[in-house]
Structure 1
Amino acid sequence: SSSSSAGLITVDDRCRSDQSCVFYGAVGRPLYLQLPKEDYLQLKKINSGTTSDVVFLYRNKKIRINHLDQRWEFNNETKTMIITRAEKEDSGRYRLDSFNSTGFNTGPYSLHLIIEAGVSSVKMTNSCFSITERKVHCSSDGDQIQFSWTLDGIPHNQNLTDGNQTLLLGERSTGNFTCTVKNHVSNGSATVIIEPCPEALLLWFSLEMFVLVWVLEIIVLLALLGGFHIYGRIFRKRSIKRNSRSAESLITVDDQCRSDQSCVFYGAVGRPLYLQLPDEEELKLFTIKSDYYSDRILHFKNKIIIGKPSDPRWEFNTENKTMIITRAEKKDSARYRLHTYNSTGTNTGIYYLQLIIEAVVSSVEVMDSCSSIMERRVNCSSDGDQIQFSWTLSGTTSGSRLTDGNQTLLLDKDYTGNVTCYVKNYVSSGSKTIELQQCPGKINLIFTELICTGEELLYEL
């Protein structure tokens, strides 16, 4: 089963700071953006640190600039912007400027909108894979999903692996096991009844033990052969880590993250990420699973790691108080909370941050087609998450006649020259340039057809 509800976003005083409010909407579901009830409202989508596009302007009870996408509708009476069917391309940072009837600036407001695919197709599988242990695995579609379990209605948080997707049980475990899957916009669940594993598995015990011993022998041999090589690589990696950090993603947890509203940081899939924590004597880092539940992933006190991350990709450097994700993955995307204490045990702060891991821009392709006698289309495509497109014509920025979320550029059929498509997201960028030649003309066909009428024809080239 799964459930979600239409999203209502209220733009209020929490969004007045430069740090954006973070709101979530579900793909394919309506989203209601309640704007302040002022006489002048201007909504901009921020493309980068210095550029933005006006997507909506309301002044003196009239809509002066309407959103180009018909999915965006504005209710004059309630001052509500309605996205009738949210899509991932709606994700982004927005700025709202508002003025009252006297012209006094009552804003600005900053917000960050993230559209996620809802939870769907929750499935569970059960397998008795050894004589002493069985696995119950849960899978689901959706963005930034999180898993939790109950046994006969009681929360079950032990023996979980694979980001809580897999539950490890004894071969004689029984009961109703429920997997609950959720993200910021929806949730779903599935339940299976677990019976004891068949006793026939005992027949395979001898064979499994033989195979296990054989595999262990091979592992020991490989470890002996590669041990010195692995140690050398680790030593070299640690010795150069400080020098190479400036080229990767560095996140600094500072006073901006002290409010309940999370700081938002981005990382790239497959690349290292450095989380610079405050220089305090005791640090406790948690992953926030819900409003009432969180997992502790690090406890550092008196220069000793008391509780370390279970994922080997997460490493903590005790000298400079840096948490290192050696190879970021999308499952690292989550809300985190950090508690810090000084040498006397006094709580020096609680920090909140939102980490979003994105796939980088790759495989940028540009295609040209002369679609009609008067017009040609140049289309750009790319892999990556939350990508944005921009264009230049022979090195000059082009912002007109763009469609399909800026993916398609409409040009006059006679245009020739270099066209460059730039693709970017929060973690990377890419581009591709093609040279446009003259479109094949249709002048001869038209000329012949007109001359057959017998009338005089004047055709200017």
Structure 2
Amino acid sequence: MEAVFGLMVVVLLGLSRGIETYCDGRQDGAQCYGALGGTLVLQLMNDAAEINKFHWKINRSTLLGWSSNNSTIFLAEENKLFLTPSNGTLRMNNLNSNDGGEYMLIIFDRNGEISAMQTLHLFIQAPVSSVLLDSECLFEGEMRVSCSSEGGDSPQYSWTLDGRTLTDAELLSGNNETNIITLKQHVSGHLVCSVRNKVSHVSSSKRLCTCGFIFINCTLSDGTHISKCVFEANNTLCIEPTTPITMGK
């Protein structure tokens, strides 16, 4: 009992170090995704106590074993795996690229014969860590916007303007699933680029003004708040006059 409690502490401490994902692996051929450095919570079965005996393997190596006769749990890596028999969940902590692959669950009956087998494929992905939006005006007044992400395996992009999907009437080139788009003239608003994969989701936003204009957001000394697009060449709205200091005699 003390060994199991110690294992639980180790696993729970590791959860704060990465992303936690969940997967239902009770169906044969299930596909699961885990974040690099994170934790996978895997629903392996409904209740291990209802099963006489099972082994969970990868590449013919047994990682987890269970016997209901004496409630024995075998763990190949005690600082990485933790089984909760009562609800059939398995936690895999501190995932790395070597954890990816095809796993096999083998269930035995009371006679020691194989009664069921099912496979699960685990994919490990690096999560997206940050997103950067950059824009530039083109010769005809169109605006090219790029969305750059750091980290992240198999990133997928999506765009919204003022909370809705960009339309063909606003896009000169690119689409809502590319990382570089070109907006037509006079398109402005709150632009958001979202980047996601199977284990993470990060977004970045920017207040876009049409070319030749800039977005200002300030509060003047009299309490007046200004937040709008203004013509860049003669913008003085957020620039307050300074009062010259008179030196006493």
1:339 to 79, 85, 106: 106
Match of 1:264 in 2: 31
Match of 2:234 in 1: none
Deviations 1:25-60 (A, max 9, x none): xxxxxxxxxxxxxxxxxxxxxxxxxxxxxxxxxxxx
Q: Does 1:389 align with 2:161?
A: no
Unaligned 5+ segments in structure 1 are 1-229, 242-246, 289-293, 442-461
Shift of 1:421: 0.6
CA gap of 1:235–1:405, structure 2 versus 1, over 3 A, is closer
What is the CA–CA distance in structure 2 between the aligned matches of 1:345 and 1:328, rounded to whole Å?
A: 32
Deviations 1:128-184 (A, max 9, x none): xxxxxxxxxxxxxxxxxxxxxxxxxxxxxxxxxxxxxxxxxxxxxxxxxxxxxxxxx
What is the CA–CA distance in structure 1 between the aligned matches of 2:98 and 2:66, rounded to whole Å?
A: 23
Match of 2:199 in 1: 427
Could you say what secondary structure the match of 1:379 adopts? strand
Shift of 1:332: 1.0
Could you say what secondary structure the match of 1:331 adopts? helix
Q: Percent identity?
A: 27
Alpha-carbon contact 2:82-2:90 (below 8 Å) kept: yes
Deviations 1:71-110 (A, max 9, x none): xxxxxxxxxxxxxxxxxxxxxxxxxxxxxxxxxxxxxxxx
**Which amino acid in the other structure matches residue 361 of structure 1?**
V
Q: Does 1:249 align with 2:15?
A: no
Aligned residues: 193
CA RMSD of aligned residues (A): 3.0
**Which amino acid in the other structure matches residue 424 of structure 1?**
R
Could you say what secondary structure the match of 2:9 adopts? helix
Within a 5 Å distance, the mapping from 1:184-263 to structure 2 comes to: 234=9, 237=12, 248-254=20-26, 256-257=27-28, 262-263=29-30
CA gap of 1:331–1:372, structure 2 versus 1, over 3 A, is farther
Shift of 1:264: 1.1
Shift of 1:248: 4.2
Shift of 1:269: 2.0
Q: Does 1:439 align with 2:245?
A: no
CA gap of 1:237–1:363, structure 2 versus 1, over 3 A, is closer
Alpha-carbon contact 1:391-1:399 (below 8 Å) kept: no
Could you say what secondary structure the match of 1:372 adopts? coil
Match of 2:229 in 1: none
Within a 5 Å distance, the mapping from 1:362-441 to structure 2 comes to: 362-383=129-150, 384-398=152-166, 400=168, 401-402=173-174, 406-440=178-212
What is the CA–CA distance in structure 2 between the aligned matches of 1:399 and 1:348, rounded to whole Å?
A: 55
Deviations 1:315-346 (A, max 9, x none): 23344433211222222111111101233434
**Which amino acid in the other structure matches residue 65 of structure 2?**
H
Match of 1:42 in 2: none
Q: Does 1 or 2 have the higher relative contact order (CA < 8 Å, sep 6+)?
A: 2
Unaligned 5+ segments in structure 2 are 214-249
**Which amino acid in the other structure matches residue 115 of structure 2?**
T
Could you say what secondary structure the match of 1:234 adopts? helix
CA gap of 1:434–1:327, structure 2 versus 1, over 3 A, is same
Alpha-carbon contact 1:370-1:413 (below 8 Å) kept: no
Question: Structure 1 length as normaliser, TM-score?
Answer: 0.38
1:357 to 124, 149, 156: 124
Q: Name the structure with the higher helix share.
A: 1
1:296 to 62, 67, 78: 62
What is the CA–CA distance in structure 2 between the aligned matches of 1:440 and 1:409, rounded to whole Å?
A: 19
Shift of 1:312: 2.4
Shift of 1:282: 0.8
Question: Structure 2 length as normaliser, TM-score?
Answer: 0.67
